Structure formats: structure tokens, C-alpha cells
Structure 1
Amino acid sequence: MGVSGSGKSSVGSRLASQIGARFVEGDELHPPENVRKMESGTPLDDADRSPWLERVGTCLRQAIDAHDAAVVACSALKRSYRDTLREAAGGEGVAFVYLEGDRALLARRMSGRSGHFMPTKLLDSQLATLEVPHDEPRTITVSVDQTVEQIVVDAIQGLRGL
């Protein structure tokens, strides 16, 4: 979890591969109207995120019901969003890896990618919305100011400690 540019997709897909889990790209679960809004530079609000979180929660529940491991790349910016996902999954086995980075690094990473609907100008609104997960169950923080490979190593090590 984390804001745009934190590496959720890159880290999530490599993490899934390392642990033998299915990878789910949360961005692909956004309703088309959300994608259009973000492409136009308009931040999403709670009402916009609600159907998306429902879809993400359904993916988590399906993985748990099938006894599958899954890694979902999802911003989950607010505690209430994370709690919604925990509840959708029945509280079973859901862990969050918060990918933390400073604004300058995140902006650099966002400007260096192509083909993504999220414009760099929405970074500040995401940072304003972000509720950093302190003292939340089954949640770890990993700095993104390192290689993707090292982020994955740190994530696996942190998850083992939960």
C-alpha cells in the first residue's frame, strides 16, 4: 500500500513471484469513471473509492476462500480503507506493506514512468489523503529509497515477523 509512485505494482509483482502468490493489480479494478477522473487530474474522493475497495475486498475474499496466497497492489490510503479490506477478508491473513518514500523521490519515480493514468500532479492530493499506518494490526513499513529487489527482501523479512 502507498501513494502513487511508491512501487506498489513493481514490488507487488516481484513479491508475489518470490512467495508463490497470485498478483492482482489493484489499478485494474478501478471503475472506468475513476480512471477518467484521475486521467483528467481530478482526485478521487471516498465515494469514488468505495466501489473500487469493494472489488479489491472481493479479490481478497476469493483468494482466502480458495486457500490461495495473493498480493494486491492497492493504495489503501486511509485507515478506514484498510479496515474495509480487513473486514472484507474476514480479518484472516491480511497484511499490509506500507511503501514509504519522500515526495521528491515519489515525484521522480512517477515522472519516469509511461502508460499510467495517474498524473504526477495528483501526488500531493494522495499525500494529503494518506493516513500513515501506525500501530495497525499486521502492517509493516518498508522504505522505497532502495532497489526493488531490496524492498522485496525487506518486505518478506517484515512479513515473516508478523
Structure 2
Amino acid sequence: MVVMAALLVLAACQREAADGDVVELSGKIFVFNYRVARATYLVTLRRLAPLPEGGVTEASFEDPRGGPPLMVRQKLFPVMEKIVLESPPVHCVRKGIPYAVTIRLLGPSGEEIQSIETSLKSNVDQDVLPSKPLSLGPAYDVNPQVFKPDGSTDFSSGSCPT
């Protein structure tokens, strides 16, 4: 019975490898960090098969403000079980708009091993974030540009193309 269970496990591994997929998309979300007034894409991948030694992951994130895609490149290590890809800060994210994300796994010589195309939608507009960080430094000092000495506050957000 133990031998049969081992054969089933091995057969499942062979099916995954036969599909040719090295990773699968396991999560995707926009991260809105209120303290530092920053929004980013966050995508996670789960390893299905061995990762190539010396390989890299390239991710292309649609810029919500327009213009060329934002690119991220990350080195792969064979021991990685999960790959986390975070974009540079983005601006002008709008609720319900699908933003394109393309991920490519490349081998050590640059050959494409796998490509994943997906999209991400936010459930809130980015204007929920303040335009400037709420606190500064490691002691979380209040930002005087947001919290004025006269007691007023300035949470105004920057302008985005419509």
C-alpha cells in the first residue's frame, strides 16, 4: 500500500512537469501603505518544478498613470518555494480597472521557460492614500507637511489623468 501511495505521488509530479509549468500564480493584490503613502502591485508565484540555477524572473506591470510598463527583475534560486514580485511605487490606481501584468521565467542563457499573463483590479481608488507620508523616520515622527503646526492637516492627493 505504501508503494502504491508513493507511485501516486510520483505520477502527480510527472503530470506537473509534463504541463511544462515551473510556477503557478498563487496571489495578486494592490498594496496600499498608508504610513508611507505608497501603492504597489504584489504578485506571488508557487514553485511546481525545480527552478533553473542562474535563472531570473521578469515582471512587467502596467503603469496606471500611463507610459511604459514598470519592470522588475529578480534572480531565481533552486531552493525558492515561493517567488514574491513587488512593483516600484505606482500612482493613479482606479477602482475596478484591470491592469495588465506579464511575468516571464528565463533560464540562465535568457531563454524563456514560462510566461504568465494576468491582470489586477483594485477594490478602491488610490486617492484613499495621502499624497505625502504620514510619518517620517524610524521613530515614526509626524510629517510636518501633512500635520501642520496650526493643527490643520493636508491629505490632498496628487492629480491623475482622467
More strand by share: 2
Higher relative contact order (CA 8 A, sep 6+): 1
Q: With structure 2 as the length reference, what TM-score do the two structures score? A: 0.28
More helix by share: 1
Larger radius of gyration: 2
